[in-house]
Amino acid sequence: MTQSSFSGVNIPPMDVHNRKLVNNVHPPDWVNPTPVECYDLVVIGSGTAGLVTAKGAAGLGVGLKVALIEKHLMGGDCLNVGCVPSKCLIRSARVVADMRDAQPYGIQPPAQIDVDFQVVMERMREVRARISPVDSAAAAAKSGVDMYLGEGKFTGPNTVSVDGRTLRFKKAVITTGARAVRPRIEGIEEVGYLTNETVFSLTELPQRLAVIGGGPIGCELAQSFHRLGSQVVLFHRGAHLMSKEDADAAEIVQQAFLKEGIKLVLACQMKRVERTPSGKVIHFVCDGREESVVVDEILAGAGRAPNVDGLNLEAVGVEYDSRKGVAVNDYLQTTNPKIYAAGDICMNWKFTHAADAAARIVLKNTLFSPFGIGKYKLSDLVMPWVTFTDPEIAHVGLYEGEAQDRGMDVNTIKILFDDVDRALADGEEEGFVKIHLAKGSDKIIGATIVARHAGEMISEITTAMVGKVGLGSMASVIHPYPTQAAAIKQAADAYRRTLLTPKTIKFLGLLTKLS
């Protein structure tokens, strides 16, 4: 056993919290194990998909030999530069918003809200470090995984090299994730910019911040930094923020941004960036007219690129695309039948919970489906997701337009939160529950919720879809009063009322006379 040569990981600022994080997810004194003769499963990449696959296989107690390889930080984007740190910033930003908007509730807001950005970021680092033991090298080893720190790449039909060692495998899984796309804007490399991989290392608040990308990442961070005190300008090439979302939902968020004072530059083309004594100047064109804005920092939040470089996939006949990632079938099997993939490296759903679900499919299909019997399909998943703006947008299943494109007739039930008692009491009536049904039935095929805590509500509808429970049946589910989730019950009641045709009303009248 020898110490890994990949020990120089540094996450600025290297305070007590980041040292704890590194000691967990890439310990500098880690000693790679001696490989066994042949592994049942070798997993490359220790983000959510990799950890669930490797620890899940090793922890079954059936004697499987499992190896997990990581060249950088265990826990992947979610722990280190994604879900965990961003939600910490969002929480601090919501405190600011609550203080600012306190007057309608009979509470006088302070004349000035002082944000200590260094403390905000330190809290984020502390929370991240506190969560990190779950994703640590020690935890993986304790579960029975042979944990290797180093860069893994395929070297033959059934071999992977890492840190000077050769690992033989029966099956392998690629879970190397994705990274932020580099903006194609003249001068931006010279001027410098932030991504989700570097923004959480900030210790000083940018006074003027440009955010590139009006999708979920860009919108979440734009709103958070604006609330924390930055003057934010948000660039989006589309005519509307979150153009892939339900249009009604995206409109509510866009209006919230405008009300808060975030400057939106929509349907415009960014031309070039230059550094001047006054700051970083972004030149852009709108409606044929060139304009410019001066900022202190630029945050690129538009798009992700799969981490396929350096894997030597050609050596094992795994097809891939530099933009789309590794090619897989519905069973998450690559063009090499012995090699599977899961997570951001191969899926359109780039969410932590999607990577987790895909890893469970891979476990079943690689280890417990002899001769292909009983394989699970990715397309069978009912996948919810949430954009954590304020208000949040949560969605599951099909959008109305998607259903129509598939030739499906749709009925939609929509409940506005200004008709929900608890939302009125909370002062959070901007939003709705929208549920799409297959026409002529109560089968739920999709839903969108816009609310401050929409992410906490969408699982009820997801559960109904997975359990094949129709919206009509949900009318009998008792919801505590008063809650905002009661909007789902109201939607179910609204569906039941659509069944009151003249014929059924006449029949009910007859029943009352006979009762």
Rounded to an integer, what distance in angstroms lies between the CA atom of residue 435 and that of residue 489? 11
Smallest CA-to-CA distance from 89 within 66, 122, 60, 43 is with: 122
Cα 233 from chain centre: 23
Per-residue exposure over 263-282, b if at least 16 CB sit within 10 Å of its own CB, e if not:
ebbbebebeebeeeeebbbb
Distances (CA, A) of 98 to 85, 427, 428, 482: 20, 11, 12, 21
Query: Is 215 annotated as contributing to ligand binding?
Result: yes
Is 75 within any annotated ligand binding site?
Answer: no
Q: Which pairs count as long-range contacts for 26-29, CB under 8 Å and 24+ apart, including other chains?
A: 26/70, 26/72, 26/73, 26/74, 26/137, 26/149, 27/136, 27/137, 27/138, 27/149, 29/3
The answer to whether 392 and 242 are in contact (CB under 8 A) is no
Q: Token pair of 466, please?
A: 């997975």
* CA-only gyration radius of the chain, Å: 25
Return the exposure string of 440-479: e unless at least 16 CB atoms fall within 10 Å of the residue's CB, then b. Answer: eebbbbbbbbbbbbbbebbebbbebbeeebbbbebbeeeb
Q: Is 190 annotated for ligand binding? A: no
Neighbours of 190 (CB within 10 A): 9
Q: Has 303 been labeled as part of a binding site?
A: yes
345 annotated as belonging to a binding site for a ligand? no
Do 358 and 347 touch, CB atoms closer than 8 A?
yes
Question: Cα(151)–Cα(399) distance, rounded to whole angstroms?
Answer: 40
Distance CA 225, CA 232 (A): 7
Contact 331, 173 (CB under 8 A): no
Pull the structure tokens for residue 145.
């995984």
372 is in an annotated binding site: no
216 marked as part of a ligand binding site: yes
Query: Annotation-wise, does 220 bind a ligand?
Result: yes
The answer on whether 122 is annotated among ligand-binding residues is no
Strands 31-32 and 2-3: antiparallel
Nearest to 261 by CA among 296, 225, 290, 298: 225
213 appears as a binding residue in the annotation = yes
Q: What is the Cα 57 distance to its own chain's centre? A: 24
Known binding positions: 87, 152, 213-220, 303, 344
Per the annotation, binding residues for NAD(+) are 213-220, 303
Binding residues for FAD: 87, 152, 344
